[in-house]
């Protein structure tokens, strides 16, 4: 992998990741951009104890542009974009409309390919491996920043999820605090260690493998299962066999096998609802241990992949119980979801 760091016209950082070491990246951003001005602010809820990012400048962010005006496509035919070069493998840049900025953290955009009409599932294993390398490198870089405590790599796909740019891309958030969901996991892991003497994540995966009914796929280095108490209609948790706290610590065997496993999961998601159905909307989220905290070694890197589509043409909306009280009601039994995800395996 070759990494090239440059700057956009307004000073934001842009990083190219290339699979060929001889690639030269010297294109200049010719847009007449003003310096980025943000109003990101973190406020803490005194009742719930969590944090909310207030970012009013995001009201002006790009919203469903036509394909010929996509800001994530490479610069071609006189049309200038966020990527000055005419082609790229993987590109990462600071978000122009960040939810978190300055002392409040950092937000980056990850473009998986220069092909506007592709999706992550369309990538080759080599391309997916390069994305994994970019995620890993950015986790290390953001984790080294004084204002960042936790690094979150994720992808939202589909208009139903709320995606406003159709180009295949994801994001990376560097939070200045430990997120509420991770806090809950760490708390549960500490309680489990005190009560049972083992690691919670290891024991959950072992229980799922022994039961077998919710296993989606298993290889030498990865195991994917639908959680026993899945929140979403189709939800898969993917764990490396060897527990590690973050992407940086993945061993070479797991790193090499990940592209095949992950691409298979994404392709199965697109086949859940049968032929002729539109691509399945999903959120794909890497859960990594926060930096510089006690109990970090108890956390287990894993990826959570889920869709809000519960059946053909119908979405799972967060209604009163979910949004008002945080109590999920799942219409699809986890065992049935796992069975369907096994049925649509690649032949």
Is residue 169 part of the annotated active site? The answer reads: yes
d(CA 67, CA 135): 26
d(CA 346, CA 344): 6
Q: Convert 318-343 to b/e letters by CB count within 10 Å (16 or more is b).
A: eeeeeeeeeeeebebebeebbebbee
Picking from 160, 198, 158, the residue whose alpha carbon sits closest to that of residue 298 is 198
- Determine the 3-state secondary structure of 69 from DSSP: helix
- Sheet strands (E) in 82-149: 90-94, 106-111
Q: Is 11 exposed, middle or buried (0-12, 13-18, 19+ CB in 10 A)?
A: exposed
Q: Are 341 and 333 in contact (CB under 8 A)?
A: no
Q: Give just the sign of the alpha carbon dihedral 290, 291, 292, 296.
A: positive
70 is in an annotated binding site: yes
Contacts of 100 (CB under 8 A, 6+ apart): 40, 42, 53, 55, 106, 107, 173, 174, 175, 176
239 is in an annotated binding site: no
| Rama region for 197: left / alpha / beta (φ>0; ψ in -120 to 50; rest) | left
- Determine the 3-state secondary structure of 302 from DSSP: strand
Residue recorded with tokens 């990101």: 40
237 is in an annotated binding site: no
Residue of 169, 192, 225, 302 marked active site:
169
**Residue numbers belonging to the annotated binding site:** 70, 73, 116, 167
**Residue numbers belonging to the annotated binding site for Zn(2+):** 70, 73, 116, 167
Active-site amino acid positions:
169
């Amino acid at each position: 992998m070759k990494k090239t760091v440059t700057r956009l016209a307004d000073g934001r950082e842009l990083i190219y990741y290339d699979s060929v070491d001889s690639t030269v990246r010297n294109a200049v951003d010719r847009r007449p951009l003003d310096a980025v001005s943000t109003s990101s602010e973190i406020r803490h809820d005194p009742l719930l104890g969590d944090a909310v990012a207030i970012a009013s400048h995001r009201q002006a962010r790009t919203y469903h542009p036509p394909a010929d005006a996509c800001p994530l496509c490479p610069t071609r035919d006189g049309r200038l974009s966020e990527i000055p070069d005419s082609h790229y493998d993987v590109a990462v840049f600071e978000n122009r409309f960040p939810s978190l900025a300055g002392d409040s953290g950092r937000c980056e955009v990850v473009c998986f390919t220069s092909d506007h009409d592709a999706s992550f599932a369309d990538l080759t294993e080599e391309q997916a491996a390069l994305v994994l390398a970019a995620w890993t490198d950015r986790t290390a870089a953001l984790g080294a920043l004084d204002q960042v405590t936790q690094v979150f790599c994720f992808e939202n796909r589909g208009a139903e999820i709320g995606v406003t740019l159709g180009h295949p891309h994801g994001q990376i958030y560097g939070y200045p605090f430990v997120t509420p969901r991770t806090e809950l996991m760490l708390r549960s892991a500490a309680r489990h260690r005190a009560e049972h003497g083992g690691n919670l994540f290891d024991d959950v995966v072992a229980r799922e493998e022994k039961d077998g009914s919710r296993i989606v796929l298993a290889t030498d280095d990865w195991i994917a299962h639908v959680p026993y108490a899945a929140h979403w209609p189709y939800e898969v948790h993917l764990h490396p066999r060897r527990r590690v706290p973050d992407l940086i610590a993945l061993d070479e065997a797991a790193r090499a096998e990940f592209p095949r496993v992950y691409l298979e999961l994404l392709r199965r998601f697109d086949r859940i609802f049968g032929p002729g159905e539109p691509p399945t909307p999903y959120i794909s989220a890497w859960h990594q241990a926060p930096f510089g905290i006690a109990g970090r070694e108890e956390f287990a890197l894993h990826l959570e992949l889920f869709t809000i589509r519960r059946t053909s043409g119908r979405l799972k909306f967060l209604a009163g119980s979910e949004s008002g009280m945080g109590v999920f009601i799942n219409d699809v039994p986890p065992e049935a979801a796992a069975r369907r995800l096994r049925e649509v395996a690649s032949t």
